[in-house]
C-alpha cells in the first residue's frame, strides 16, 4: 500500500504563492525595523509561514527561496 505524502504528491501540482519578485520585496522589507510582518504578508498575499519559509528575519534567503530564485 502506497503511503500518502502531501509534500510529495499534492505540492507538485500546486504553484508557489511566492515569486522571485516577492522574495526580493520581502528581503528588502525585512531589513527595515519599521516593517510589520503581518502588514508585509497582507501586501504580498502570503502567510507568515510562507514568508519565513523563503526569507529569514535577518534578511537572508532560505533554501526554498534559493531554489525558487534558481528555477
- Name the percent of the chain lying above pLDDT 70: 80
Q: Give the CA radius of gyration of the chain.
A: 14
Q: What is the pLDDT of residues 58-68, one digit of tens each?
A: 999 999 999 99
Cβ burial of 51 (10 Å; 0-12, 13-18, 19+) is buried
* Domain ranges across the chain: 17-70
Q: What is the pLDDT of residues 23-41, one digit of tens each?
A: 999 999 998 999 999 999 9
Provide the Cα torsion 15, 57, 28, 62; round to 10°: -40
Average pLDDT score, the chain: 85
Amino acid at each position: 500500500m502506497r503511503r500518502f505524502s502531501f509534500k510529495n504528491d499534492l505540492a507538485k501540482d500546486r504553484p508557489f504563492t511566492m515569486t522571485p519578485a516577492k522574495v526580493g520585496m520581502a528581503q528588502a522589507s525585512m531589513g527595515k525595523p519599521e516593517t510589520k510582518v503581518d502588514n508585509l504578508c497582507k501586501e504580498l498575499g502570503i502567510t507568515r509561514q510562507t514568508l519565513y519559509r523563503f526569507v529569514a528575519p535577518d534578511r537572508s534567503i532560505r533554501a526554498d527561496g534559493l531554489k525558487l530564485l534558481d528555477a
